[in-house]
Structure 1
Amino acid sequence: MSRKVLITGGTGLIGTRLAELLIDGGYEVALLSRTPGNNRYPSFRWEPLAGTIDEAAVPYADYIINLAGSSVSDGKWTRERKREILSSRLAGTQLIAQELRKGNHHVRAFVSASAIGIYGDQGTRVLTEETSPDPDDFLADVCQQWEQAAEYVEQDGIRTAIVRIGIVLSPEGGALVPLARTVKLMAGAPLGSGKQYMSWIHLDDLCRLFIQALEDEQWKGVYNAVAPNPVTNQEFTETLAEVLHRPLVLPKVPEFGLKLMMGEMSEIVLASQRVSAEKVLSKGFQFEYPTLKLALKSFYGEDK
């Protein structure tokens, strides 16, 4: 049986690692890319905003993993930037749905990214996949529209799993890099009140979760992709300092300072999201890095 996976957004932090693990698992991988010649894997050209896609792309695939979307943490959220954050997710997902509707394919499953940003700022409340999205939050609105676009694929009878991704930990990119840099420079401090919950996941666990969602026919609908032990921002900062053998010398970074520096984007670090991993655990998924200390030690432990 052929095992060909087509990945959108395959050159980003998650896609790069996911492609490696898929190849290790005996899959063939191809990317949908706006610059097909520049990639390590066979690539098909697409331009989501222009609505164009190589007609051979979708017929190639047994599985599609949809990660495409411009980073929410690059630069302030100007009106233009917000439009790009939304359109880069919607256009790609809608284009795939349109191609699948044509019917000349053998796609067995569609696994699409979303984010725990859909819940907005919820304090200490434990958030499950059934928790309603925050109606007044920009990222929540983006995620909701993104998920609705993915649900069109499900309506066409293709098994669809939507993965709400937490804060991805990797020394290669994402939130951990600036946080670790400030702690290493002895400038680490909790952000805002420090009481806000951070629901995180080790990059390798996230990629393994995507692969399980792709392989296991029981996986349908929405899943939180977070480790089973969320921590407060203060605990996160303290654990990171401990693993890096650095003291925490500064008081908290005040909320108004973060808002001044980051604008509305500060909600990424100030919003509290205590997200449950129960559903993926009940599906038999096993985390290699269930606790923050284990995850951070895998990057910054003694022998690294």
Structure 2
Amino acid sequence: MHILLTGGTGLIGRQLCRHWLAQGHRLSVWSRRPEQVARLCGAQVKGIALLEELGQERIDAVVNLAGAPIADRPWTRKRKALLWSSRITLTETLVAWLESREQRPSVLVSGSAVGWYGDGGERELTEDSPPVSEDFASHLCIAWEETAQRAQALGIRVVLVRTGLVLAAEGGFLSRLLLPFKLALGGPIGNGRQWMPWIHIKDQIALIDFLVHENATSGPYNACAPHPVRNADFARTLGSVLHRPAFMPMPAFVLRVLLGEMSGLLLGGQRAMPARLQAAGFTFQFTDLRAALDDVAARL
């Protein structure tokens, strides 16, 4: 297969490239820095600055993961505009390009996040659940999905991957927690009762591969392990894995002062369940948080 990726130089994209190169697939990555693609993704991966560089080459599948990191800095008006354009505007450009092609891929797998639901509180959230609360992250994900779904009118199967918190040694949110926990400053956030839908990077890669190849799949899928945990339980388990205490709480009011609106990402949560993934026949390798963190910690 010839697979086109956006966001291919990110955490998930790099791992996907390695996985698919090992399977013998041909890969192209649309990137703002195409000169870095070969170094980050693999020497055989082609980096392109413009979609038009592909001409009328056959494309079998598109995986759209591009988007500026949502939790890197507070949501100023300028930052919100960047988060929006890096997802929605980019996906609009991608769909318009697909429409212009004579040959079109059979599938578009497009990124999203469990933030689509907003802060779900105690509700159990499956893919059939509506958004629970309205905030910027929810609006962003809803618009991102709606834009990608326009490709259905072109005869393309569209899959939406609502990703939880990815556990990986190579980056992501876990790398931000590592220093405070190693300094014995880790602990629950706020009251620690908010739900954390997590997924091991190996399962994230496997499920995207599964959704690309499983022709019967379409629509949204919660990319998170079937056993979400509360924030306090996550902190205790991570502390145990790192052999560090995890009793230093981060008060909610401090986060609100420091991060403003973005603090909702940490103080809220989603009890998201991968109902449609499991019904489609996908099997998770990591369903226990301790086992997942033990595996990741060995490479930290």
State the AA in 2 paired with 1:16.
Answer: R
Note if contact 1:33-1:45 (Cα within 8 Å) is conserved in structure 2: yes
Q: SS where residue 54 of structure 1 aligns? A: helix
Deviation at 1:55, TM superposition (A): 4.7
* Aligned positions of 1:1-304 closer than 5 A: 3-40=1-38, 41-46=45-50, 53-56=51-54, 59-134=57-132, 136-250=134-248, 252-301=249-298
Distance in 1 (CA, whole Å) between partners of 2:56 and 2:153 is: 17
Distance 1:58 1:16, change over 3 A: farther
Distance 1:163 1:249, change over 3 A: closer
Q: How many pairs does the alignment contain?
A: 294
CA distances 1:124-163 after superposition (whole Å, capped 9, x unpaired): 1100111112452100000010001011001211111110
Deviation at 1:171, TM superposition (A): 2.0
Unmatched runs of 5 consecutive residues or more in structure 2: 39-44
Distance in 2 (CA, whole Å) between partners of 1:116 and 1:298 is: 24
Distance in 2 (CA, whole Å) between partners of 1:96 and 1:110 is: 10
Q: SS where residue 98 of structure 1 aligns? A: helix
Distance in 1 (CA, whole Å) between partners of 2:134 and 2:124 is: 19
Note if contact 2:188-2:247 (Cα within 8 Å) is conserved in structure 1: no
Q: TM-score, normalised by structure 2?
A: 0.94
Distance 1:45 1:185, change over 3 A: same
Distance in 1 (CA, whole Å) between partners of 2:208 and 2:245 is: 36
Distance in 2 (CA, whole Å) between partners of 1:141 and 1:76 is: 17
Deviation at 1:17, TM superposition (A): 0.7
Deviation at 1:74, TM superposition (A): 1.3
Q: SS where residue 188 of structure 1 aligns? A: coil
Q: SS where residue 195 of structure 1 aligns? A: coil
Note if contact 2:98-2:104 (Cα within 8 Å) is conserved in structure 1: no
Q: SS where residue 161 of structure 2 aligns? A: strand
CA distances 1:233-266 after superposition (whole Å, capped 9, x unpaired): 000000001111112242x211001112222111
- C-alpha RMSD of the superposition: 1.5
Deviation at 1:26, TM superposition (A): 2.1
Distance in 2 (CA, whole Å) between partners of 1:112 and 1:14 is: 13
Runs of 4+, deviation exceeding 2 Å: 57-60
Q: SS where residue 158 of structure 2 aligns? A: strand
Distance 1:84 1:134, change over 3 A: farther
State the AA in 1 paired with 2:203.
Answer: D
Deviation at 1:60, TM superposition (A): 4.0
Note if contact 1:192-1:255 (Cα within 8 Å) is conserved in structure 2: yes
Distance 1:280 1:57, change over 3 A: farther
Distance in 2 (CA, whole Å) between partners of 1:151 and 1:106 is: 15
Distance in 2 (CA, whole Å) between partners of 1:157 and 1:10 is: 24
Note if contact 2:120-2:133 (Cα within 8 Å) is conserved in structure 1: no
Unmatched runs of 5 consecutive residues or more in structure 1: 47-52
Match of 1:49 in 2: none
